[in-house]
Amino acid sequence: MKFSSPAHAERVTSRIGLALAVTFTLCFVTGLISHLIQHPPPWFGWPSRPVWLYRVTQGTHVLSGIASIPLLLAKLWSVYPKLFERPVIRSVAHALERLSILVLSAAAFFELVTGLFNIAQNYPWTFYFPQLHYAVAWVAIGSILVHIAVKLPKVRLTKEPDPSRRAFLRTTWLAAGVAVVATAGATVPLLRNVSGLSWRSGKGPQGLPVNRTAAAAGVLDTARDPNWRLSVVTPKGTKTYSLDELRALPQSSAELPIACVEGWSQSAHWSGVSLPELLRDAESAPGTPVRVISLDKGIYGSSDLPGEHTADELTLLALELNGEILDIDHGFPCRIIAPNRPGVLQTKWVTRLETL
Ligand code: HEM
């Protein structure tokens, strides 16, 4: 069967392959950063400045993932005639190469499809997304490296494609560009009014989107309980604070983004007690790592704030958002908001801080 369309030319295939290698590498590296921040090994340190860094890395993660979708479809269209080549297997090496391409395609599809469903907050599966998405990411990047090693001799030989083939390439680049611009508004404020498909808008209580509501966390009553107290536990003992006592402490404010693991992010103005101030008041030292415990008993019901963040004056136990008392869905009575941290670690409905 003869496939003469310009799209099927080797030169076209390898160009799209190179673009995919770039977007997948970007995805992998930024995804790995998100993983390491959430599960830091002893050697790993993540800075508290610049305040916007995680916003950029995770935004890049999702946008490079989205750009990969039209690229992968164009790549598969470009190579599909190879599926009909006969004989199916010419040698052991050929069989292994075909197998590696199968693994690569399956892993790539899995990453893109699960990622897309995840940011749409649609989970038609029973597995824990971050874990499997993380594991398959290694399979995807590993099989990409094998594929490049096998194909490299051919890639180098490739000359500039002729005009008919350039048209297919241009269409592919355009599709990837449109996919990114149509969605980037969720993470790039400038594009907010341009991106018709951005998976998150600025809508939400106090002008900020909410992922987990107080109702979903089951804290509507406990968070509004007038007897609520914050406990700060240090080697010197436990100091408790009512909301009024927290408001009586010196207040700080900061313009900080909420940067979600789903890649959307938005800046807001926060006010409250800085962590260094609170630790000093509880006779502990700024820079001491702290475990933050929420009224929420869900999987993100506690987080560990490293010393880098507890020493930073911009790390707040926030009591107000955009000039108003914190909405219950944003974590009333108080929540953590720290510079350069994933949204899932900006713990809401805080009730206890323990120095580590
Ligand atoms: C449309 C494409 C993609 C989207 C929308 C997407 C989305 C996401 C999201 C929302 C997370 C955060 C998970 C969490 O912490 O709860 C994540 C994590 C991650 N992603 Fe993706 N992703 C995509 C493609 C990829 C690809 C192609 C790779 C690798 C080749 C990849 C590798 C990772 C890794 C390593 C993590 C860290 C998981 C962890 O924290 O344990 N992703 N991705």
For each of the domains in the chain, give its residue range(s) and CATH number, in order of start.
6-191 (no CATH), 205-355 (3.90.420.10)
31 lines ligand 1 (CB under 6 A): yes
**Directed axis angle between helix 92-119 and helix 10-38, to 10°?**
50
142 lines ligand 1 (CB under 6 A): no
How do strand 335-337 and strand 324-325 relate by DSSP bridges? unpaired
In the chain the beta strands, taken as DSSP E runs, fall at: 230-234, 237-241, 252-259, 265-274, 290-294, 302-305, 316-321, 324-325, 335-337, 350-355
249 lines ligand 1 (CB under 6 A): no
pLDDT tens track, the chain, 356 positions = 555 677 788 888 999 999 999 999 999 999 999 999 999 999 999 999 999 999 999 999 999 999 999 999 999 999 988 878 888 888 888 888 889 999 999 999 999 999 999 998 889 999 999 999 999 999 999 999 999 888 887 665 555 567 777 889 999 999 999 999 999 988 888 888 888 888 776 689 999 999 999 999 999 999 999 999 999 999 999 999 999 999 999 999 999 999 999 999 999 999 999 999 999 999 999 999 999 999 999 999 999 999 999 999 999 999 999 999 999 999 999 999 999 999 999 999 999 999 99
Q: How far is CA 247 from CA 65, 102, 256, 259, 324, in A?
A: 43, 59, 20, 26, 13
Name the residue of 30, 32, 34 to mutate for ligand 1: max ligand atoms within 8 A of Cβ.
Answer: 34
Q: How far apart are CA 249 and CA 17, in angstroms?
A: 57
- Give the residue from 221, 217, 201, 198 showing the smallest Cα distance to 209: 201
C-alpha 330 – ligand 1 centre gap (Å): 25
Strand partners, 236: none
32 lines ligand 1 (CB under 6 A): yes
- Give the residue from 256, 259, 271 showing the smallest Cα distance to 326: 271
279 lines ligand 1 (CB under 6 A): no
Count Cβ atoms within 10 A of the Cβ of residue 105 and give its class: 0-12 exposed, 13-18 middle, 19 or more buried: middle
Minimal-distance CA residue to ligand 1 atom 10: 262
C-alpha 111 – ligand 1 centre gap (Å): 7
Q: How many C-beta atoms lie closer than 10 Å to residue 324's C-beta?
A: 12
Strand partners, 336: 317
Q: Which residue has the tokens 């008041």?
A: 281
Nearest ligand 1 atom, CA 108: 27
The helix/strand count (H/E) of the chain reads as 10, 10
Which pTM does this prediction carry? 0.93
